[in-house]
């Protein structure tokens, strides 16, 4: 039986194995493994790719969000608005900064933050206490980002973009990560731009935020062994930076392949009782995930698994319903869309090296179940 994984991080390494191996050897031979030339060069290259002035490599996407918030002066007593339909890292980062998360509902088509619910949340909080918003560019889609920026501007709220899934995505011709006060990216091995371990980066065009983030990632040192304020140890190492420099050259090519795969899915699945990914005007989706909605989601997932096809649910339990957060985390209004889609979403196989024949096989197996459902 054919086996099709939902994602295959090893395929991205094998596609550029020779270059990656050479980059790794270069680092090993240099003897400089932390905060060296590879990281400095990657920071410059990635900042230029996104279209900002400064980049600060850190150990993970979670650290990137956490330190981005702290670099903006967000801390204890402050409220940060975000969504419940996201990886738990988004909320974990807010609490690591000592701030209070406030969760709002999402748009039912894009699964990203509802600008209307965001404004309602701000109006419900004590004056001067909502300090930041973290819009999550979920699954590779920027969402209705223009409206989010407009609301944030009206209330003087810092915008911290969670770009963990949107490397290369565009909104009105600009890349995600270039709109807010600061942005955070993850290089987890399944991302569109992926390391061979954990990694993250903070991006900004604000020199003060960049300076503070750079100090925060290494104990608050302005000079070695002298901390001027409390920091942490969170550094993107030279090996990961070298790998990412190679992969960055192929990011647009990989995103284009994801878009081709998405079109094949859309063409083959449009006749069935499924809700396919939406793209708002002005946005360019890079399909970190291809997420459908199905009333018979669990049956469909099992049917595909029975035929060797891997799928995942991103994310099966909204954050406000998880044991660590239920009953103690602040919710603004009802999260009805968030709770509804959690029972219907399913991520189909999606990665640039996925062969056309495998895409067709996925669609054929979905079609076989869906046709039976219509009998």
Give 74-127 pLDDT, tens digit per residue: 999 999 999 999 999 999 999 999 999 999 999 999 999 999 999 999 999 988
Is it the case that residue 217 has pLDDT exceeding 50?
yes
- Domain coverage including residue 347: 251-374
Instruction: Characterise 190 by phi-psi region: left (phi > 0), alpha (psi -120 to 50), beta (else).
Output: alpha
> Within a domain: residue 319?
yes
> Within a domain: residue 114?
yes
User: pLDDT tens for residues 187-211?
Assistant: 999 999 999 999 999 999 999 999 9
> Within a domain: residue 145?
yes
Is it the case that residue 374 has pLDDT exceeding 60?
no
**Distance between CA 74 and CA 131 in Å, rounded?**
7
User: pLDDT tens for residues 262-310?
Assistant: 999 999 999 999 999 999 999 999 999 999 999 999 999 999 999 999 9
Whether residues 19 and 80 share a domain: the answer is: yes
Note the pLDDT of residue 201: 99
Whether residues 239 and 258 share a domain: the answer is: no
Cβ atoms 130, 120 nearer than 8 A: no
Query: pLDDT band at 129, cuts 50/70/90?
Result: confident
**Distance between CA 175 and CA 138 in Å, rounded?**
14
> Within a domain: residue 302?
yes
pLDDT above 70: percentage of residues in the chain: 98
User: pLDDT tens for residues 11-22?
Assistant: 999 999 999 999
> What does the pLDDT average to over 216-226?
92
User: pLDDT tens for residues 136-158?
Assistant: 999 999 977 889 999 999 999 99
Structural domains counted in the chain: 2
Instruction: State which of 248, 264, 295 marks the end of a domain.
Output: 248
Whether residues 193 and 313 share a domain: the answer is: no
Domain CATH number, residue 97: 3.40.640.10
| Beta-carbon-side half-sphere exposure of residue 315 (alpha carbons within 13 Å) | 19
Whether residues 86 and 233 share a domain: the answer is: yes
Token pair for 207:
């020199």
Instruction: State which of 220, 248, 276 marks the end of a domain.
Output: 248
Burial of 197 (0-12, 13-18, 19+ CB in 10 A): middle
Instruction: State which of 232, 248, 264 marks the end of a domain.
Output: 248
Whether residues 88 and 186 share a domain: the answer is: yes
Whether residues 171 and 36 share a domain: the answer is: yes
Note the pLDDT of residue 326: 95
DSSP β-ladder status, 100-104 and 330-331? parallel
**Distance between CA 32 and CA 37 in Å, rounded?**
8
Q: How many CB atoms lie within 10 A of CB 317?
A: 14
Whether residues 194 and 322 share a domain: the answer is: no
Is it the case that residue 373 has pLDDT exceeding 80?
no
Whether residues 170 and 97 share a domain: the answer is: yes
> What does the pLDDT average to over 210-226?
94
Whether residues 143 and 178 share a domain: the answer is: yes
User: pLDDT tens for residues 24-54?
Assistant: 999 999 999 999 999 999 999 999 999 999 9
Helix 37-50 × helix 17-30 angle, to 10°:
140
**Distance between CA 270 and CA 275 in Å, rounded?**
8
> Within a domain: residue 325?
yes
Whether residues 158 and 225 share a domain: the answer is: yes
Whether residues 299 and 223 share a domain: the answer is: no
Cβ atoms 266, 272 nearer than 8 A: no
**Distance between CA 57 and CA 35 in Å, rounded?**
9
Is it the case that residue 224 has pLDDT exceeding 50?
yes
Burial pattern 103-124, b for ≥16 Cβ within 10 A else e, equals bbbbbebbbbbbbebbbebbee
Query: pLDDT band at 375, cuts 50/70/90?
Result: very low
> Within a domain: residue 4?
no
**pTM exceeding the 0.95 threshold for the entire prediction:** yes
Note the pLDDT of residue 222: 87
> Within a domain: residue 1?
no
Whether residues 323 and 238 share a domain: the answer is: no
Domain CATH number, residue 359: 3.90.1150.10
> What does the pLDDT average to over 332-357?
97
> Within a domain: residue 3?
no
């Amino acid at each position: 039986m054919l086996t099709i994984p939902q994602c295959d991080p090893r395929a991205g390494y094998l596609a550029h194995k020779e270059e990656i191996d050479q980059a790794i050897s270069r680092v090993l031979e240099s003897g400089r493994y932390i905060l060296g030339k590879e990281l400095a060069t990657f920071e410059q290259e990635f900042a230029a790719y996104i279209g900002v002035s400064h980049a600060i490599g850190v150990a993970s996407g979670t650290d990137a969000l956490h330190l981005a918030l702290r670099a903006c002066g967000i801390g204890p007593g402050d409220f940060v608005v975000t969504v419940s339909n996201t990886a738990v890292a988004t909320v974990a980062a807010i609490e690591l900064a000592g701030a209070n998360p406030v969760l709002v509902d999402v748009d039912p088509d894009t699964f990203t933050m509802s600008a209307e619910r965001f404004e309602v949340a701000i109006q419900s909080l004590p004056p001067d206490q909502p300090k930041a918003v973290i819009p999550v560019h979920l699954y590779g889609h920027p969402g209705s980002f223009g409206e989010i920026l407009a609301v944030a501007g009206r209330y003087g709220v810092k915008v911290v973009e969670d770009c963990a899934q949107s490397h290369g995505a565009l909104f009105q011709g600009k890349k995600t990560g270039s709109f807010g006060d600061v942005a955070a990216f993850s290089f987890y091995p399944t991302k569109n731009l992926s390391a061979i371990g954990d990694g993250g980066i903070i991006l900004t065009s604000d020199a003060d935020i960049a300076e503070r983030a750079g100090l925060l990632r290494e104990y608050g040192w302005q000079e070695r062994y002298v901390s001027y304020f409390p920091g942490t140890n969170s550094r993107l190492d030279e090996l990961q930076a070298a790998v990412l420099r190679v992969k960055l050259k192929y990011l647009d090519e990989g995103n284009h392949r994801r878009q081709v795969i998405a079109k094949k899915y859309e063409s083959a699945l449009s006749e069935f009782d499924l809700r396919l990914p939406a793209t708002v005007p002005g946005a360019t989706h890079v399909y970190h995930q291809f997420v459908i909605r199905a009333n018979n989601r669990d049956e469909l997932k099992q049917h595909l698994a029975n035929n060797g096809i891997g799928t995942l649910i991103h994310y099966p339990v909204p954050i406000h319903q998880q044991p660590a957060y239920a009953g103690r985390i602040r919710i603004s209004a009802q999260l009805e869309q968030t709770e509804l889609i959690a029972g219907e979403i399913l991520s189909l196989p999606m990665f640039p090296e996925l062969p056309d024949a495998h895409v067709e096989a996925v669609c054929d197996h979905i079609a076989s179940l869906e046709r039976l459902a219509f009998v």
